[in-house]
Structure 1
Amino acid sequence: MRRWLALLVAATTSLVLIALLVPLALLVRALAESGAVTQATAEAQSVAAVVGTADAAGLTLTAERTSAAGGHAITVFLPDGQVVGARAARSPAVELAARGQSLTAETPSGLEVLVAVQGLPAGTAVVRAFLGEDDLRRGVREVWLGMLVLGLTLIGVGIGVADRLALALTRPMSEMARVSHRLAAGDLTARTTPGGPPEVRDVGLALDHLAGRISDLLAEERESAADLSHRLRTPLTGLRLEAESLSDPEEAARLGTRVDALERAVTSVIQDVRRRSREQASCDAARVVAERVAFWSVLAEDQGRAAEVAVPPGPLEVAVSAAELSACVDALLGNVFAHTPEGAAFSVRLAPEPGGALLVVADHGPGFRPLGGSGHPLERGRSGAGSTGLGLDIARRTAEASGGSLTLDAAPGGGARVVLRLGAPADSGALR
C-alpha cells in the first residue's frame, strides 16, 4: 500500500506541476525574447541618433562600440548604398524599412530589428540590429533547469510526505495482520496496539474483542470438559466398589487395575484441559519419543522387528504436552505393528529443524492402501486396512495444534512414511 500511495502522490504532483510549469516556461521564453528585442531596439535607436551628424568613419566607430557593448551585430545601410558596421546582406525587410517604416522581421537564422532614419538629404537610412537564437534564448535554459529541479524537488517532498502518512496507515494494519497470524497459530494472548486513523483503530479494537471472545469460549469449553471428566468419578467409584466386592481375588485385582488405569486417564484429561486454559503446553520431544520407543521396543523384539532409532539427547522443546505427544507416537507405532507383518523393520527419527522438530516414522510394510471411492488416509474415520482410521487423525491434530503439519508418503525402501512437523513454543529459543 505504501508503494501505491507514493505512486499516486507522484502522479498527482507531476500533473499539477506540469500544468503549472509548462505555461510558466513558455512565459519565460516569451519574456526573454521580448527583453532581447527591446534591448536591440534601444541599441539601434542610439546608433540612428548619430546617423545624420557623423561621417562614415564616426558612424562605423559608433556602430562597433554599440555592438561590442550590447553584444548584437549593428549594421547601417546608408541611402547611397554604403554599408557601415557589421557585414550583412540587404534583405527584403531592409528594403521595406528604407521606405520609412521601422519593423522587426524574422530570418532563418534569427531576428532583424530595423529602425528607419528619415530626413537625410540622400534619402532614408536603415539601422539593423541582428538577434541570433542564442540572443533570443539567453538565460532561458538556466531558468528552465531551475524549474525542473524545483519540480523534481517538490515531487520528492510530496512522495516523502505521502510515505510518512502511508506508514502511519500501514503500520497498524501490518501489526493487525501479525496479531491475526499469532491468533491462528494458537497464541490467544496476542493483542493489537491502538494506532493509526480512527477506522483502523476500530478494526484493531474489534480484533482484540474477537480474540477475547475466542479465549472465553475456549475456556468455557475446557471447563465443560473438565466438569464432564469430574462427573465420571462417580461411576468409577461404583466400579471400584463392585470390583472390591468380587469373591475371586484375582478377578478383583484385575478389575481394580483396569479401574485405576481409567481413573488415571480421567485425571490426566482434567489436568490437561485446565493446563491448556492457563498456558501453552510444551514438552521435551526427545525425552517423550525416547520413552515411547523404548516401550514399543519390547514388542518389536518379540516379533523380530529391526528398529532403527535416531533421537537427539535433547532437550528439544515442542508446543504440545507430553501426554499428547505420547499418544501421537503410540498411535503411529501402533499402526506400524497393526498393519505390517511380523518381522517388518521400522525406523523412528527425531531431529531439530528451524521453528521446531521433525519426527519421521517409517516402516517396510505394504504402505498406504488406496481407499475405495473418495477419501484420504488422514480423513478421520477412514482407513484402507480395516481400522478405525483415528490414529493418523490424532497425529495430524497433534501436529497442527503445535503449529506444524503431517504428511504421508512412501518410504525409500518401500512401505509407509509419516512425516510429523512439530512447532516450537512461542517463548522458546528455537531457530525461526
Structure 2
Amino acid sequence: MTGNLPAGRPLRRRVLVAIVGVAAAAVVLFAIPLAVVLQRLYRDETIVSLERDATRISAAVPDSIAQHPKPVPLVTRMSRRLSVGVYTLQGRRVTGRGPGNSPVAGRAGDGHVHEAVEHGLLTVSAPVPSDESIVAVIRVATPYDDVTARAERSWLLMAGLAVLVIGLAAVVARRQAVRLAAPLERLTTDAQALGDGDFSIRARTVGVREADAASRALEATARRLGDVLDRERAFSAHVSHQLRTPLTGLLLGLEAGLEEDDQRAVIRTALERGEHLQEIIEDLVRLSRGSAGDRGVLDVTALLDEVRARTDVDVRVPDRLPEVRASLTAVRQILHVLLDNAVTHGRPPVTVSVIDLGNGLAIDVTDTGPGIPDGTDVFRAPADGHGIGLALARSLAEAEGGRLIIRRSSPPTFSVLLPAGGYGSRD
C-alpha cells in the first residue's frame, strides 16, 4: 500500500533547520557582544599605549619648550605612525605634528591625561609639569583606522570560526536528523507492509526509546492481526467439520421421527440437538474472534457434568483438583472434538478421566477402538478433511497455555494438559 506523503516539511529538514538555527543564533548572540568588547579592548589598549608614550615624552622635554620651541624628542620603541606635538595650555600647537588647535590638548591644562577621537585620530594629551605649574601639553595621536582595522581582522577571524561552528553543527544536525528520521521512515514502510497484509514485521532496535517502543508496538499489532486472521481462516476451514456431526444427527433424528407415532418426543430430541448445535456455533464464533471474556478459574466438575448429561460416557473426577485458569469455551470445544473423534473412529465405552498432576491437571479421553497406527500424525489435517478437528483442538489447547497429546496409542487416549494457577477444592 502506497500513498501520497502528507503536506509539511519532512522531519530531516525540520531537525536540520532547528539545530543549525539554534547554533547560528547562539553564535550570533555570542559574537556580537564579543565583537563590541574586542573593539573597546583594542581602543583601550591603544589609549594606554598613547598615554604611556605621552607621559614619557612629557618627562623628556624641557620646561621652556613652550617659550623656546624645539623638535620634539622621540622615545625608543615608539611607532613612526604616531603624531607628536607640543601645545600651549590653550590648545595651540607650538611645535611638532598635529592640528593648529586641539581641544583635547587644551583640556590637559587641568593636570590630567585626556583622550578623544579628533580629526580621525585617536588622541591623548598629557601635561608637561614644571616645579610650580603646568607649562605645556604633549599631544600624541594615531590613526583611528588602525584600531578599527585591528578589530576588523578579529571580526573576520570570528566570522570564520562562526562559519566553521555552524558548518560542524550542520554536519551533526544532518547525522542526527538521519538517526531520528530513519526509524520513523522504517515504521512507515512497515505500516504500509502491514496494510498490504504482511504480518511478518519484526521490531528493529535503533537506540531511540520512543522509536523502539513504537516498533515493538507495531510488531505486537502485526502478530495480533496475524493471529486474528489465522483464527478466521481456521474457523472457515474447521466450521463445516465441527458442525457436520451434530447437523447429521439432527437430520437423522428428524428422518427417523417421521416413522414414529410419538411426534412430541421426536420434536423434543430435535430441539435438544438444535440447541447443542447452536451452542457449538456460538462457541466457534467466539473462539474465531479470540474472545477471552470467559477465561478464568475453570470449573472442571461442572464442565464434565455437562458432558455426562449430553453423551454416554464414563466420567471420573477426583475429589481435589488444582485450580486451573482457562477459557470454558475453548476447553468445551476441545472435549467436544475428542469425544466426537472417539465416537466416530473408536468403540465404546468412552471414558473421560481427570488426573491431578500437581502443577496442573490432565483430562484424558479414552475409547476401546483399534488404536492409532505408528507413524500417523493425527494432528495434521489431511487433504480430504477427515480428522481436521484434532488440529483445531490442539491449537485451542496451546492458545490456553496447555497441550493436547496422545498419551497412549492403544487403547487410544488423548490427554488435554492444562497448567495450574493455584490450588482449589472440589465443591
TM range (shorter): 0.3 to 0.5
TM-score, length-normalised on structure 2?
Answer: 0.48
Q: Which has the larger radius of gyration?
A: 2
TM-score, length-normalised on structure 1?
Answer: 0.47
